[in-house]
Structure 1
Amino acid sequence: MEICVDNIESALIAYKNGASRIELCSALELDGLTPNIGMFKIIKSLIKIPIFIMIRPREGNFCYNQLEIESMKEDIKIFKEMYADGFVFGVLTKNLEVDMEINKTLINVCHPVSATFHRAFDVVKNPLQALDSIALLGFDRILTSGCYDTALQGNNLLTELIQKTSQTSDNIKWPIIVLASGIDRNNLAKILTATKCQELHSSCRVKKLSEKKENFDHYSLPDASIITKMIDIAKEFNLL
């Protein structure tokens, strides 16, 4: 059970309520960007589960120019020196295919730290071909909703991906398929029954009202009861 967070309070809630791993980013409302270093340092000092770092320099598409690639490399180097446990990124070509050259460069910078190909996968032109490319590159995981807005909608492709990656091969190490997007305590059992997945990704967030009287804006945090309920469901399926 990986919980994606974009602030310190969220990371602590996830950790204290049984998350297996944290994906740390900034700007979850933009589907996650590279987090700031200070936040990571504080969280790293407070929790004892792996922290994967989102490496995404801007919102929008996943086709980056050379300066953006250089900034991604520098971010990886900095977080790696600070003992990040993994990195989450993905680069596509203009034709919506996996960019073999640039992703390989970034994986080499990550080495030997784990690398996850993020939901750029969900906009590729040919998902099964992209899976082969990502496996050849050496990614350990793929974060995906099955090329739909939610994992429940992408059920069929997710099942196909998991079935393919469960096959043993002497020539290739398949990445773990991590299910993401729209997964909650109400649909988790159905998704697990259909896909037989190994890993899940969710924010488990609910909107809260700011406690400051002068600020009545809402903000989102993981909900402890949602996390624990989803973990209980996962345990019923021998996932955790």
Structure 2
Amino acid sequence: MSLTYEICVDGTEAALAAERAGAHRVELCAALFEGGITPTIGTVAATLEAVSRVRVHVIIRPRGGDFIFDPHEVAAMERDIREVRAAGAHGVVIGALTPEGTVDRPVCERLIAAAGDLAVTFHRAFDMTADPYQALETLVDLGVHRVLTSGQEVSVLEGAPLIAELVRLAGDRIVVMPGGGVTERNIGRILAETGVSEIHFAALTDEPSPAVHRNLRPFMGGELRRPEYLRQVTSAGLISEVMQAGGSSR
């Protein structure tokens, strides 16, 4: 089976690590601790200039939290899509829901229109929908190319039964791409249980900050925070391990 590997990354060096490891595509984000939000246009442009083989899809999400967006946020997302499209991105990753947990069709139509000929992925807002089967049909009708999902569970392994059913229902109309908790230890089982052709994962490892001078008293975020002098970086080696465990690629 041929597999397409997509890596969730938060910067240019991370995208280069994914490329070195042989990944096919990256989802470029900022603030992975928030689940990923729109990166700066400078980061998008720098990444597109740096990579040569890997395709770059950019998440369009103005903030963390829920996926119910006000008119100002929708306008901002439309503008972000136009800017990343002009910068040369290969695709965008979007998602919007109603308070009732359905796909917000009018908002998605606006975002898809702004994307033009770019590939469109619907992100894990899908996992917060009230009826995943109805949501899948809505996305097919909208012309979305793929949907990223953990099967509405905490990880892909637990959500594998739903993912397998979605793959069956989707046929060749839309790609169902699992993501969430994929590792070199479980990817073989995930692939066997779901029958997917694409898979999404992050490959993060801790790395000390290069800061020599360190002030340990203040911090730059809320109470739930990562250490100031510890970074999470994308590991090309870890990507390779997962890909080797998953088998052949295309």
What TM-score, normalized to structure 2? 0.90
What TM-score, normalized to structure 1? 0.93
| Amino acid of the structure 1 residue aligned with 2:59 | M
* Higher normalized contact order (CA 8 Å, seq sep 6+, divided by chain length): 2
Q: CA deviation at 1:182?
A: 0.3
Residue matched to 2:62: 57
Q: CA deviation at 1:239?
A: 4.5
Stretches of structure 2 lacking an aligned partner (at least 5 in a row): 215-227
Write the mapping of 1:1-240 to structure 2, written as runs, cut at 5 A. Answer: 1-48=5-52, 49-166=54-171, 174-215=173-214, 217-235=229-247, 238-240=248-250
CA contact (8 A) 1:188 1:230 kept: yes
CA contact (8 A) 1:2 1:200 kept: yes
Q: How far apart in 2 are the matches of 1:199 and 1:205?
A: 20
CA contact (8 A) 1:122 1:147 kept: yes
SS in structure 2 at match of 1:51: strand
SS in structure 2 at match of 1:154: helix
| Amino acid of the structure 2 residue aligned with 1:183 | V
Q: How far apart in 2 are the matches of 1:111 and 1:192?
A: 32
Q: CA deviation at 1:26?
A: 0.5
| Amino acid of the structure 1 residue aligned with 2:146 | R
Q: CA RMSD in A?
A: 1.2
Stretches of structure 1 lacking an aligned partner (at least 5 in a row): 169-173
Q: How far apart in 1 are the matches of 2:49 and 2:14?
A: 15
SS in structure 1 at match of 2:62: coil
After TM superposition, the runs of 4+ consecutive aligned structure 1 residues lying more than 2 A away are 211-216
Q: CA deviation at 1:149?
A: 1.2
Q: CA deviation at 1:214?
A: 2.7
Identity of aligned residues (%): 32
| Amino acid of the structure 2 residue aligned with 1:217 | Y
Q: How far apart in 1 are the matches of 2:101 and 2:186?
A: 30
Per-residue deviation, residues 91-114 of structure 1 (Å, max 9, x unmatched): 100101011111011111111111
CA contact (8 A) 2:185 2:245 kept: no
Per-residue deviation, residues 41-85 of structure 1 (Å, max 9, x unmatched): 111111122100100011111010101100000001111111110
Q: How far apart in 1 are the matches of 2:143 and 2:249?
A: 24
Q: How far apart in 2 are the matches of 1:209 and 1:82?
A: 32
Q: How far apart in 1 are the matches of 2:142 and 2:177?
A: 17
Aligned length, in residue pairs = 232
CA contact (8 A) 1:198 1:239 kept: no
